[in-house]
Structures are given as structure tokens and as C-alpha cells.
Amino acid sequence: MSPRLLRVELTRLRWRRAVILLVLLAVAIPAFIGAAQAWSTRPVSDDEIAQVAREHAGEIDRCTERPRQYGMPKGVSEQRCTDLIVGWYTGREPLSLAQQRNGGSGMAVVAVLTALLLLAGTTFAGHDWNSGSMSNQLLFEPRRRRVWTAKALAVTVVALVTATVVSAAYWLAMWAVMRARDLPIRDGALTDSLAFGLRGAAFAAAAALGGYALTMLLRSTVGTIGVLFAVSVAGGVIVAVLGLSEHWQPQKNVSAIVKNGTTYWVQPPPSCEGRPIRADDTECRGERELSVWDGTGYYGTALVLTAGASLVSFRRRDVP
């Protein structure tokens, strides 16, 4: 594959309006998620405390008169009741990088980038088939393997750069907010978060490549979206109906990749019933490790098979 051909495909990708829109959304939506997280974890101001105290003055008085109904000892001061009631209505968890990675918005950012960049790869390939321009492109470069590879590389590079920049910006922004609020930051938390974002970016780029390869195989954007929708909806259901382990659930393998490993639950054997379970007794605890390499193999196999079938089909089938 020549560098000239790759530059041509990058230029075509850059001028595709649908791709530009999807890339802009891939920047805007994570930015909105980050702003929402910063706002929802903001410190409680004195004005907010005073306003809540005024709005719920009646409840504070009831707490002072009947403290036992609020779990407080008899004769409690009005200030303690005020702190309790105000805390109910103004309590907000402080921002935490670890919480964002484990159960917060970190996976939401990965999901958004994956979905939008997958659509970008799909629409880039689908436009060539829908418009009939593929046959014209092959007049200038008849070696189909080079054409397929150049397009695939262009999609992957753009998706990887976009996802990496957005992910790094998101985690750096969260870190900067915590620094500005003088919140404690564990040593290595930023490095772990950036690594989380990089793994998510790699997964999103692989998804974009997979969307491109599937569209080149099916020669239809609508067909690709239909197949992906069916797999996303029915995949986990089928695994559950067949009684397979969570090891084969799609979302578990995504978590294993992005989080650098995760755990899943299995039914302990009957021999574990009625006996105390030690912390090191992995068989009876029902938890199993799912490593990042397990998740990579799970999705990597699907990607290699799809890309291989796509390339073979493109080289052998007639192009209208």
C-alpha cells in the first residue's frame, strides 16, 4: 500500500460530512458528560445550605421536638437537626477518579466513543457502495487489497487519534477539577485513569475497524447497523438462555479490556454448601477472574474473522 493512497483515503474521510458530524459528537458528548460530573459533584455552598434550611424549617423543628423519629438522641440541639436535614438534601459525593473508572462515567465515555466511531467507519464504507463510487476508485487503483487496506487504515487511524485525544482530555479535566477543589488524589490515580482511557480508545478504534470491515462485506450501511443491533440486543440474551457463564457475556469482556481485568460470578459446586468460605477459597467464593487478554481474545477473534471475510469478499466479488 502506497502512502499516496492512504493520504487519498484520509482526505476522503475528512471531507465526508457524516463522519465529521460523528467526530464532533464524539468530542461534544464526552465534554458534556465531564461537565455534568463536575457540576453534580460540586461542593455545597453556604447559600445552598441556607436556602435548604429555610425551605425545610418545619422538618428541622419536628426533628428538634421529636428527635427519636429521626434517629437522634433525646434533647438533641437544633444545629444537629439542621445539619442532618440539610445533609439529606445537599449531600453530594466528591469527585473521585477511582469512582469514575469503577462505576462512574468512565465506561459511559468509552461507550459513546465506541458507538460513534463505529458508525463513522460504517458510513465511510457504506457511502462508497451506496453512491456507486467504488467502481470508479478501482479504475485508478485496481489492486483491491491495497484499496481495502488503505481505507481500513484511514478509518483506524482517525478513530484511534480521536478517541485517544478525547479520552485523555476527559481524564485530565477530571484531575484538574479535583486539584482545583483540593480533593485528595491517590498516587498513580491519574496514570491509571489515562491508561483506562487509552484502552477504551483502542477498543473504540477496533470497533470502527470492525464496522468498516462488516460494511465492506455486506455492502450496505443499513445492513451493518441491523446486524450490529441484533448482536448487541440478542448476544447477551442468547448467552443467558443457553446457560453459559458470564465469561461469554459481551459487556463483561468489554469491562475486562477497559478496566484491565474484571471478575464474574459462577455457581459454586454443591460441596461448598454448609461450610465456611475462606477469603482464599476461590472455588467456593463464586468469583472468577476475566483478564484483559481474555477480553482481547473474545473481541479480537470476531474482528479478525470479520476483516478476513471482508477482504476475501472484496477481492473476489464483482463490484457494480
Q: SS3 sequence, 158-225?
A: HHHHHHHHHHHHHHHHHHHHHHHCCCCCCCCHHHHHHHHHHHHHHHHHHHHHHHHHHHHHHCCHHHHH
pLDDT, mean over the chain: 85
- pTM value is 0.85
Is 17 exposed, middle or buried (CB count within 10 Å of its CB: 0-12, 13-18, 19+)? exposed
How much is the pLDDT for 7? 87
How much is the pLDDT for 28? 96
For the chain, what percent of residues have pLDDT higher than 90? 39
Encode pLDDT of 63-101 as tens digits.
888 888 777 787 777 778 887 877 777 777 788 898 899
Domain boundaries, the chain: 3-42+95-316, 46-90
More confident residue, 50 or 153: 153
How much is the pLDDT for 70? 78
User: Distance between CA atoms of 246 and 266, rounded to whole angstroms?
Assistant: 8
Encode pLDDT of 111-162 as tens digits.
999 999 999 999 998 888 887 777 777 777 778 888 899 999 999 999 999 9
- Tell me the average pLDDT across 291-318: 91
Is 251 exposed, middle or buried (CB count within 10 Å of its CB: 0-12, 13-18, 19+)? middle
pLDDT of residue 195 exceeding 80:
yes
pLDDT of residue 274 exceeding 80:
no
